[in-house]
Amino acid sequence: MSLHNLDEAARQQQFLDVIDRDEARARFHAHLTLQPLGTETVTLSGSLNRVLSDEIRATVDVPGFDRANVDGFAVQAADTFGASEDAPRSVSLNDEVITPGVQAGIVVQPGTATPIATGAVVPRGADAIVMIEHTDVVADAADRRLEINRAVAAGGHITFAGTDIAKGETVLRRGALLTSREIGVLAAIGRDRVEVFRKPRVAVISTGSEIIPPGAPSTPGAVYDSNAAIVSAAVEELGGEPVPLGVIADDETKLRAAVQQGLDCDIVVLSGGTSKGAGDLSYRVVSELSDPGIVAHGVALKPGKPICLAVTVGKPIVILPGFPTSAIFTFHEFVAPVIRALAARKDAQAATVTATLPLRVNSERGRTEYLLVSLVRRGDDLAAYPMGKGSGSVTTFSGADGFLTIDSQTEILDADTRVEVKLLSRELRPADFVAIGSHCVGLDFLLSRMEERGFAVKVLNVGSLGGLTAAARGECDIAGIHLMDAATGAYNRPFLKPGLTLIEGYRRLQGIVYRRGDARFENKTAEQAVAAACADAACAMVNRNTGSGTRILIDQLLAKVHPDAEAPPAGYGIQAKSHNAVAAAVARESADWGVAIETVASLYDLAFIPLQEEHYDFAVPEDRAQSAAVRAFRNLLQEAEVRDELRALGFQL
């Protein structure tokens, strides 16, 4: 970075005017015309998920004729009255057979019947169809006669013209969303084209020199562009047409040109470059626009504070924060309502459920916070587990069931607080099998096999102690745990609370992971390696989260190696939530060592010093031990093929 850029970064201005959500929305909407954009005619095959711009009236009857509903004989109902198996009524057969699409040539007179197929036009003179099952054909040299052994009422087994849809009837109204059902109605009345509201075209621009498109080779510091894919898909879901303009590096001229190109569309959405830092060009480029230009920059939201809202010549321009969760929330808060209005889509009413927070949640006073949660059954209640991966997480939204809104004046929500959760989809399908506890790639494998067998699976990685607590509260089916009793050296059973039982899992080898060739660790035992690392102030570790079995092991190891240490080793305060996260931190050189299992060391091509074998087992609430899902899981662990695959992953059984 040049001295000029360093100086600019040091002096960067923060947000112009952080305002609340309602004020930001009001300023934004004040400069927009939130009406449908116009209409266009589309073919029926291209009308799915479009919105009708006018009423549709039928110009034909459906059906367009009196239609036979069964295979049988067209008759006059009076000729069947009194018929029974013991005393059948007899009529003569007309010399024709009526099939679908064929007009009858013979009028059905009293005392006669005409064979007819399902869907055919009922002949003149007939007022009922007698089913073929209730008849017998009797033929002799002089005549063919039909014996009817069950009476049929007038109108029996006939659908009369216009019964389904009558000519002139309004079948669909303005504003109807065309799904497969509505398209079927349009086809039934003979429509091959339909007038619909035009889709708003939304330019989608990703910014930043670190952003690369999916499929491109990755380099250190590069980030795959997930925001463009998420935003484009959301635009389509809302009834818009995404126009991806690609990734624009930190080049002001190129970004300005992309924004101008985007203004050919109805809406422009950028992601990244909202915070007015030295490398954030999006704000600078958008700030050049006028009429009126930027109307809000900085909204009291968490996540999503840096969002920038602008309008120029009636067209909305929005700069979403770069972090995925922030981008998604702010998109749905500010952009989605505009797209719906321009596309003539009705406002979405989110379904809500009431749940209980199992954990205390801290919030930031002065900002409305959206907290994504995962819902699990707790008896007849629901527990809402916060999805604590942060605004930079790509997977948080996909794994969440809904979110709760914490108002700007609330700082703490205590455990067991009742909360209202807005669902991210219209329906909540509870999982058949919930796993809460310590993360393990072996468990990931087992859960995949459970899903293959038809179980809806949910997993929350909260550490061994968190899993035990969840199991004791009846919030999960299994809790993956690996806790060692320091006094006895026994794993897991000493930690079971009343009401819990144990399913034995597998063993895995934990140890020190480090980059190959690091002389501080080469040819040392685990204790020697940790002692050397603690003696080197420049040697940084990556720790595990409090409550995990690995964290307990780390603390025991440090206490043994350095019992009188005045301060923990460098990096001790950095807490990764999984073995994979530990290995990734070491592999990318943000840390020099950590404790993880041998399986992930191999995955990240790291060197490994064995520390000790641990038992990874599953705590189960006793009242769920005989459920279909838990029985299936227990049986899965005993299958020879599954056990072989676990061994191939590096686990011992």
Reading the block at residue 468, the tokens are: 């035990």
Write the CATH number for 595: 3.40.190.10
51/73 same-domain check: no
pLDDT band at 4 (very low <50, low <70, confident <90, very high): very low
277/179 same-domain check: no
* Residues 190, 60 contacting (CB under 8 angstroms): yes
Give the pLDDT confidence score for residue 274 in this predicted structure.
54
Is residue 493 one of the residues assigned to a domain? Answer: no
188/216 same-domain check: no
130/209 same-domain check: no
pLDDT band at 159 (very low <50, low <70, confident <90, very high): very high
Write the CATH number for 299: 3.40.980.10
192/173 same-domain check: yes
Reading the block at residue 481, the tokens are: 């745990």
Which domain does 44 fall in, by range?
A: 39-62+163-197
Report the pLDDT averaged over residues 77-93. 94
Reading the block at residue 618, the tokens are: 């599953």
Number of domains in the chain: 5
pLDDT digits (tens, 9 = 90+) for 402-421: 888 888 888 889 988 999 98
In the predicted structure, residue 572 carries a pLDDT above the cut 80: yes
Name, in order, each residue with C-beta under 8 angstroms of 106's C-beta and a sequence gap of 6 or more: 94, 95, 96, 114, 123
Which bin fits 193, alpha (ψ -120 to 50), beta or left (φ > 0)? beta
Write the CATH number for 184: 3.90.105.10
Number of alpha carbons in the 13 Å side-chain half-sphere of residue 158: 26
Name, in order, each residue with C-beta under 8 angstroms of 91's C-beta and a sequence gap of 6 or more: 75, 79, 111, 112, 113, 145, 146, 148
Is residue 276 one of the residues assigned to a domain? Answer: yes
231/313 same-domain check: yes
Q: Which of 621, 613, 645, 295 is nearest to 448 (CA)?
A: 645
Name, in order, each residue with C-beta under 8 angstroms of 582's C-beta and a sequence gap of 6 or more: 513, 542, 544, 576, 591, 594, 595, 596, 600
Is residue 550 one of the residues assigned to a domain? Answer: yes
Q: How far is CA 448 from CA 456, 457, 458, 482, 636, in A?
A: 10, 8, 11, 21, 11
113/46 same-domain check: no
Q: Cα separation of 95 and 14, whole Å? A: 92
Q: Percent of the chain at pLDDT above 70? A: 94
Q: Cα separation of 302 and 404, whole Å? A: 12
Is residue 510 one of the residues assigned to a domain? Answer: yes
pTM of the model: 0.78
Is residue 75 one of the residues assigned to a domain? Answer: yes
For residue 136, list its beta bridge partners: 147
Pairing, β 112-116 against β 593-597: unpaired
Domain end residue (candidates: 289, 315, 343) = 343
216/338 same-domain check: yes
Report the pLDDT averaged over residues 605-615. 94
pLDDT band at 12 (very low <50, low <70, confident <90, very high): very low
* Residues 44, 105 contacting (CB under 8 angstroms): no
550/583 same-domain check: yes
pLDDT digits (tens, 9 = 90+) for 514-563: 999 999 999 999 999 999 999 899 999 999 988 777 888 899 899 988 88
Give the pLDDT confidence score for residue 275 in this predicted structure.
52
Give the pLDDT confidence score for residue 390 in this predicted structure.
53
Write the CATH number for 131: 2.170.190.11
Give the pLDDT confidence score for residue 187 in this predicted structure.
95
Q: Which of 87, 89, 86 is nearest to 130 (CA)?
A: 89
For the chain, the 3-state helix, strand and coil shares in percent, each to the nearest 5, are 25, 30, 45
317/330 same-domain check: yes
Pairing, β 315-320 against β 267-271: parallel
Is residue 288 one of the residues assigned to a domain? Answer: yes
Supply the DSSP symbol for 569: P
Is residue 446 one of the residues assigned to a domain? Answer: no
Helix (H) or strand (E) holding 640: helix 640-648
Reading the block at residue 30, the tokens are: 């004040």
* Residues 487, 580 contacting (CB under 8 angstroms): no
Q: Which of 203, 231, 234, 194 is nearest to 51 (CA)?
A: 194
Write the CATH number for 414: 2.40.340.10
Is residue 361 one of the residues assigned to a domain? Answer: yes
Q: Cα separation of 433 and 265, whole Å? A: 46
pLDDT digits (tens, 9 = 90+) for 326-375: 888 899 999 999 999 999 998 877 788 889 998 888 888 888 888 888 88
Q: Cα separation of 398 and 34, whole Å? A: 30
Name, in order, each residue with C-beta under 8 angstroms of 328's C-beta and a sequence gap of 6 or more: 230, 234, 397
* Residues 317, 205 contacting (CB under 8 angstroms): no
168/219 same-domain check: no
190/47 same-domain check: yes
Q: Cα separation of 467 and 200, whole Å? A: 47
Average pLDDT, the chain: 89
Longest CA–CA span in the chain (Å) reads 119
